[in-house]
Structure 1
């Protein structure tokens, strides 16, 4: 995964910087999301792994995407095809979305709890996380009865584990050291 990220990051950054400079972040987000879905298609996977020439691949890919790509999006596809990197488009789209969230000062947070959270609990959690992270928070809540009690909050690389299991693991580690 890290190698994939290393390959995809320059494309995502370049696309994002271009989108910001031209005030087309939403349009680029849509284009990249669409191309990422095209790359995931089983037929397209076979085509991308074939021995077709880069120009032929780019032309075919652009024809499949038709009006979903503007001229600049088509240029990105041509460059990525030339470098044999069309298969990393899903990761490029994901990194672009992360850059967009950073730019908009927002973050998606996953909350897995033992029980459903009330509206009031969600609002309080949202306010607390917005204050801690200094950005707008989008909560994605789910339930996992196996947790017994507590919740696991994941925000990017930050993980807050207040489950019974998590507390027991921390206690065990403290006792062993």
Structure 2
């Protein structure tokens, strides 16, 4: 069977093109994220492969949860996925769509995991430095993980900077044992 990414790619491109044509990037992001969450729910996942559940019932379920963020285009897109029994691919489709959107908008979503919460000045300095390094507008997504002891881990796609004290201690322990 073909890889999920291979099957999901044309759907992600179709969603992206529709979003670009109708200047609806945010709407599509919201709908795809919501639909992705719904199909990953442990109560919904078994319904996706159940032949007794009709595609329009699955589309209706997602539409009810998505609410007003859904329009005719996004509903038709989900109906097409449901008709082709491809709703389980929504997490991959959403991820690929976001990558296409970020490329088009010249932005980068950067995950910052720090040992303590960053204040606004630290966030601004980090965003400015990353903007210069990545040559893109940067959207920071910050979270705290006290197990890092100190420092932070910065991820932007394949670009990773691990400046945590925990990582330094782990490297030191490896060097001392060899």
TM-score bucket (shorter structure): 0.7 to 0.9
- Deviation, 1:123, is 1.5
Task: Return the alpha-carbon distance in structure 2 between the equivalents of residues 73 and 144 of structure 1.
Answer: 36
Alignment of 1:1-177 (within 5 A): 3-52=3-52, 56-57=54-55, 59-64=56-61, 65=63, 69-167=70-168
Structure 1: which 5+ residue stretches go unaligned? none
SS of residue paired to 1:23: coil
CA distance in 2, matches of 1:105, 1:154: 17
Report deviation, 1:22: 2.5
Q: How far has the Cα of 1:129 moved from its partner?
A: 0.3
Residues 49 and 85 in structure 2, CA contact (< 8 A), matched pair in contact too: no
In structure 1, how many angstroms separate the alpha carbons of the residues matched to 2:124 and 2:114?
15
Structure 2 CA distance, aligned partners of 1:42 and 1:117? 34
In the alignment of these two chains, the number of paired residues is 171
Higher mean C-alpha deviation, range 6-15 or range 109-118: 109-118
* d(CA) in 2 for partners of 1:122, 1:72: 37
- Normalised by the length of structure 1, the TM-score is 0.77
Q: What displacement does 1:44 show?
A: 3.1
Shift of 1:128: 0.4
Going from structure 1 to structure 2, the CA distance change for 1:40 and 1:149 (only over 3 Å counts) comes to closer
Cα distance change of structure 1 residues 49 and 169 upon mapping to structure 2, 3 Å threshold? same
- Compute the TM-score of the two structures, normalised by the length of structure 2: 0.77
- C-alpha distance in 1 between matches for 2:44 and 2:143: 33
Structure 1 residues 17 and 44, CA gap change in structure 2 (3 angstroms): same
**How far 1:169 moved relative to its partner?**
5.7
